[in-house]
Amino acid sequence: MSKRVLTTESGAPVADNQNSATAGVGGPILLQDQHLLEKLARFNRERIPERVVHARGSGAHGYFEVTDDVTAYTRADFLSAVGKRTETFARFSTVADSLGGADAVRDPRGFALKFYTDEGNYDLVGNNTPVFFIKDPIKFPDFIHSQKRDPFTGRQEQDNVWDFWAHSPEATHQVTWVMGDRGIPASYRHMNGYGSHTYQWTNAAGEAFFVKYHFKTNQGVRSLSAEQAAELVGKDANSHQTDLLQAIERGVNPSWTLHVQIMPAAEAAEYRFNPFDVTKVWPHSDYPLQRVGRLVLDRNPDNIFAEVEQAAFSPNNFVPGIGPSPDKMLQGRLFAYADAQRYRVGINHTQLPVNAPRNATADNYGRDGSMATRYGSRQDKNYEPNSYAGPAQSDAALAAPLAVAGWTGTHAAPAHVKDDDFFQAGELYRVMTDDEKSRLISNIAGGLSQVTRDDVIEKNLAHFHAADPEYGKRVEEAVRALRED
């Protein structure tokens, strides 16, 4: 077997990769050392801006297999037949911390999936919680700023975290989730995933349905206490990455069963709360879970940077039979996610192997921009319409149209009968065991007691009192006890 020869970027052999060229022995380095300059220049540029949120992530390849017939609800081809398999890439992440943060921290987890379908790539970008902190995207930058490092102290400040929540009562439900036992998953394999938002499915007859996605882990839900997490972070800050990598390398392939809740579109307007409010769940008693298929992850990335860091997900990557809903947070993400990837990775990020369609062909008029690799033939034009047999529109909408009416302007969310910010947080608290409640109270009080402003503490306590009197009373007593110590 012939020895491989190290070369420069242009393919020329490298004579010496250990010593820079100098003017004599021990002399200054020569500017003409092309190999040295190329290595340093590449090193300076070989990272891209990290994600503002979901920076710390892990990923794996696998497949999705349909186990149940859902063609009555959607004409999506990758869901069209029992037994059909679709290549999939999954990325899991923490939300608030930077790329260098630890895995075992109290934080929601991103649960992003890319399905390489025969009709193009379908991205489902969710979390390990079925709800979120806010319901309008105009608040999202402020929310993230409150959770990130303070611009003066350079660290996350409990004053900022709880001050924002004090002014955002709709966050009470998600705060109860994150501060509860599932706030620190034991691993990425041992947590559920949710689409969180409401999406639209459309069947072959044009009938529209609203859906919510639930990926139930087949490994069982396992979580860490605050004390267990602190110990694990000290031992291995990359604990979740380590676990996922080693499990798949051993052949212990993690899997999830996908269920959906399905609401006929006509029922949305009269539902007792706004079904497009991402701070609320649909009770299973109203819309039971229906099994769809299973997700299996069976191959680790060969290169973390190329396949995990450069992986770009956007919830506006739909396929025929699946579309958006009026969920305001989803509507904001349809723009923001794709735009973030254009900034981070570049306008041609969709041409990278991890992002490019695998079972369909991207055929459009995008030609130029940094790192473009898809040009077409010399006869192909870069405008449309044209007389040269270029690609043309299909005239077939991906999903059913949504009716809209009313005056333009900034509007509060439409009021339904049970549209308050607290009742579901109270319901979640009341289904917890006594031990789960005690840990929840301890987790909340641990952060809230560090807040320096009494009025911020009082506003947050009012939210917990409104969710459930016992919930509020216990948080108040726990905070008072910690502040008196």
Strand partners, 118: 120
The answer to whether the CB of 36 falls within 8 A of the CB of 8 is no
Give the C-alpha separation, 328 to 262, whole Å. Answer: 19
User: Measured between alpha carbons, how far is residue 47 from residues 50, 289, 344 in Å?
Assistant: 8, 42, 10
**Helices (H), strands (E): how many in the chain?**
12, 10
* Residue 127: active-site member: yes
Catalytic residue, candidates 61, 121, 127, 317? 127
Cβ neighbors of 462 (< 8 A, separation 6 or more) are 472
Catalytic residue, candidates 54, 240, 259, 463? 54
Count of CB atoms situated within 10 Å of the CB of 86? 22
Question: Tokens 């890439």 sit at which residue?
Answer: 89
Give the C-alpha separation, 140 to 481, whole Å. Answer: 33
For 174, how many CA atoms within 13 A lie in the half-sphere containing its CB?
23
Residue type, 392: A
Residue 31 three-state SS: coil
Give the C-alpha separation, 68 to 290, whole Å. Answer: 9
CA neighbor of 176 nearest in space, from 484, 466, 485, 477 = 466
User: Measured between alpha carbons, how far is residue 111 from residues 47, 226, 339, 438 in Å?
Assistant: 23, 22, 19, 28
Cβ neighbors of 80 (< 8 A, separation 6 or more) are 66, 71
User: Measured between alpha carbons, how far is residue 54 from residues 108, 311, 337, 389, 413 in Å?
Assistant: 10, 12, 11, 42, 27
Question: Tokens 């072959």 sit at which residue?
Answer: 204
Give the C-alpha separation, 314 to 212, whole Å. Answer: 17
* Residue 145: active-site member: no
Catalytic residue set: 54, 127
